[in-house]
Amino acid sequence: MPPVIAIVGRPNVGKSTFFNRVAGRKISITENRPGVTRDRITVDCEWRGKPFTLVDTGGIELKSEDEMWRQIAAQAQVAVETADVILFFTDGREGLTSSDYDVAEYLRRSKKPVVLVVNKIDDYSPDKIFEFYALGLGEPYAVSSEHGRGIGDALDKAVEFFPKGEHEGADALKIAVVGKPNAGKSSLVNKILGAERTIVTPVAGTTRDAIDTRFERDGKQYVLIDTAGIRRKRSVEDDVEYYSVLRAFDAVRRADVCLLVVDCGEGLTEQDVKIIGYVHEQGKPSVIVMNKWDTIEKDTGTIQTYEKKLAEDLKFMSYFRSVYISAKTGQRVDKVLALAEEVYAHASFRIPTGALNDLLIDAVRVSEPPSYNGKRLKLYYSSQVSVNPPRFVLMVNDEGLMHFSYERYLENVIRNAYDFSGTPIRIIANAQKENP
């Protein structure tokens, strides 16, 4: 695993602006009000040929009695405990505050290497940072995150503290956890990780950003991406929430597998179907995670009843895989990662060209394509051109003759012969001139 650098400090000192600058893209949501970054947010970076994981945190207000601020501070403290190096951010415009002294004392007790960063120094002069020596954390590094100044010096110092030796790691499977607000996504993430990784409260919408956590299980590497709940558009009133939803959709696009978390008590709602439809359109393998199963009164046929309803509501993706869990009690949570691995393997499977042609030629013999205006579709040959999702190109005489019902028939033939459960597949008809 690569070393971890955590960015900590009191609220609104520019931590997220620095994070986005180093990441090279806007990952943390930056807005000029405290509390916008609530959870720990991570990104894999590299500086001078040395890879590391950069962690952004919410502001630390150690003496606040407000429950949300206490949870934000607790998340930042977890980041400190798991980091190899701390970037302690202060505000050069506002100067030293009592909160800075509180955080500095906490960081000293952590025994972790600390690089003191004085941010918002747009025009450097020694007198602007002199008072920060009083924190007793060594040399202050003047930085302007907004303008990109001094960042390299701070990172140069941080990487000096990296553990010696090579950091190896196989490519991690990226798993996005998506769904409506309050479906139990963060609870599921926490249960899988075995730690309070994201803030979990009864209030919907406490996860604002897409939060990446890299971890290892049974020798395999994973990145778990917890996302903000995706609301209907008319429900998205706050600008920060709007951007959080965009991050959730971005998480789907960059994920290898999606876990679609549904509240069993509510059942599959119209919004759930829209979210699942988006995952399907993006060609991502997925698992329908029916959460809060512990709250449902059950008999011997309850799961079958739910499965039948899922099949009715998800006719566009008859390939769906599902699992019934309780993130609260841990029931069947151990099956979630195994299912994610399984559907990803199906999405990565490639059918040999010869076997695919034999299969589809036999399918055409069994059920000949219908004719239109006296012209019948002819299939010359086929090949699988890619995986994730599996894409099949069929060379035909006229792609306009490929009716969606016959395309669905050919898809079913492929699925009956090979296990592509949990993943969409794509069939593309291309015209080829007939030989004279």
pLDDT digit of tens for each residue in the chain (436 aa)?
A: 578 899 998 888 999 899 988 887 554 444 444 443 445 577 778 887 788 888 888 777 766 666 666 677 777 777 788 788 999 999 999 999 999 999 999 899 888 999 999 999 988 888 889 999 999 999 999 999 989 899 999 999 999 998 765 444 447 899 999 888 788 888 898 898 885 555 444 444 434 445 677 788 888 888 888 776 555 555 444 444 444 455 667 778 888 999 999 999 988 888 788 888 889 999 999 999 999 999 999 888 899 999 999 999 999 999 999 999 999 999 999 999 999 999 999 999 999 999 999 999 999 999 988 888 888 889 999 999 999 999 999 998 888 888 889 999 999 999 999 999 999 999 999 987 655 4
Hey, what CATH topology would domain 353-431 get? GMP Synthetase; Chain A, domain 3 (3.30.300)
Are 379 and 396 in contact by the 8 Å Cβ rule? The answer is yes
Q: Contact 251/225 with Cβ under 8 angstroms?
A: yes
Report cis status (omega within 30 of 0) of the bond before 389.
yes
Tell which residue, 60, 43, 48, has the closest CA to residue 8. Answer: 60
Structural fold of domain 173-347: Rossmann fold (3.40.50)
Question: Would you state the pLDDT for residue 125?
Answer: 82
Residue with tokens 């459960």: 421
Is the overall model pTM greater than 0.85, yes or no?
A: no
Residue 296's φ and ψ, nearest 5 degrees, are: -95, 130
In this prediction, residue 69 carries a pLDDT of 61
Q: Whats the size of the chain, residue-wise?
A: 436
**Under 8 Å between Cβ of 206 and 226:** no
| d(C-alpha 162, C-alpha 69), whole Å | 30
**Spatial contact of 389 and 424, defined as CB atoms under 8 Å apart:** yes
Contacts of the segment 102-111: beta carbons below 8 A, 24+ positions apart: 102/60, 102/62, 102/63, 103/8, 103/9, 103/10, 103/60, 103/62, 104/135, 104/136, 104/137, 106/60, 106/62, 106/77, 106/80, 107/8, 107/80, 107/137, 108/136, 108/137, 110/80, 110/81, 110/86
Q: What is the pLDDT of residue 26?
A: 52
How far apart CA 392 and CA 435 sit, in angstroms, is 22
Q: What amino acid is encoded at 31 in this protein?
A: E
Domain ranges for the chain, please list them.
Answer: 4-159, 173-347, 353-431
> Backbone dihedral region of 158: left (phi > 0), alpha (psi from -120 to 50 degrees) or beta?
alpha
Say how far apart CA 230 and CA 55 lie, in whole Å.
Answer: 24
What top-level class would CATH report for the domain 4-159? alpha beta
Same topology, domains 4-159 and 173-347? Answer is: yes
